[in-house]
């Protein structure tokens, strides 16, 4: 059967075979990843620091589905609630980089790359065709914009640190008060009407 597939006169046999193998291997990897994540269910003791100076109490486990580069995986995470702050959290989510997202860090990176290249709908189609991963246009858009906002905030924070003198950059010892930007537009395509009457233009 496999040999016959590779001998397809249309020439598509190899493509069908390699995509089928990729799908099978991806499913196998997804199952392995899910089992790997089950080794640690996120229990960090009966009480943990909530981050606000109080102790949060362990309240059981909650399930979460996370889309990864290998497909969706289901994992249980220990849930902690702080009565003083009035909020709950999952330590394991923060450790895995999925505290504010249902996409894995690896898949978010792929979505961000595609989302920055053009329309989100095209990014969704490219992700499905190139990686076999199905995401809605809206999910790709939300993930890309959320990560883009985090990058913008980090850059702004770094810039403020430099401007305030908290961080000293290498190079000039004194900050430059004014910068000039020069643009050479002589090579910009023009039409005859633009060059009429200008010496040296043709």
Which domain covers residue 127, as residue numbers?
103-166
* Residue 96 located in a structural domain: no
* Residue 50 located in a structural domain: no
Q: Over the stretch 164-180, which tens digit does the pLDDT of each residue have?
A: 878 777 766 676 788 88
* Residue 153 located in a structural domain: yes
* Residue 195 located in a structural domain: no
Q: Over the stretch 147-166, which tens digit does the pLDDT of each residue have?
A: 999 999 999 998 898 888 78
DSSP class per residue in 36-79: HHHT------SEEE-SSSSEEEEEEEEEEEEEETTEEEEEEEEE
* Residue 44 located in a structural domain: no
Q: Domain tally for the chain?
A: 1
* Residue 114 located in a structural domain: yes
* Residue 112 located in a structural domain: yes
* Residue 37 located in a structural domain: no
């Amino acid at each position: 059967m496999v040999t016959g597939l590779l001998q397809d006169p249309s020439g598509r046999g190899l493509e069908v075979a390699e995509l089928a193998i990729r799908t099978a291997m991806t499913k196998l990897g997804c199952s392995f990843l899910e089992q790997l994540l089950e080794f640690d269910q996120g229990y960090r003791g009966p009480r943990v620091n909530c981050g606000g100076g109080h102790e949060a109490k362990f309240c059981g486990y909650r399930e979460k589905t996370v889309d990864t580069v290998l497909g969706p995986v289901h994992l249980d995470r220990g849930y902690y609630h702080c009565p003083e702050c009035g909020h709950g959290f999952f330590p394991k989510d923060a450790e895995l980089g999925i505290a504010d997202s249902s996409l894995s860090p690896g898949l978010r990176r792929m979505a961000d790359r595609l989302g920055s290249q053009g329309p989100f709908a095209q990014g969704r189609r490219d992700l499905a065709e190139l990686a076999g991963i199905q995401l809605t246009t809206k999910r790709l858009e939300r993930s890309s914009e959320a990560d883009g906002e985090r990058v913008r905030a980090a850059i702004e924070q770094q810039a403020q640190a430099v401007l305030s003198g908290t961080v000293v950059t290498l190079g000039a010892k004194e900050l430059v008060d004014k910068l000039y930007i020069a643009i050479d537009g002589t090579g910009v395509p023009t039409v005859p009407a633009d060059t009429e009457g200008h010496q040296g233009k043709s």
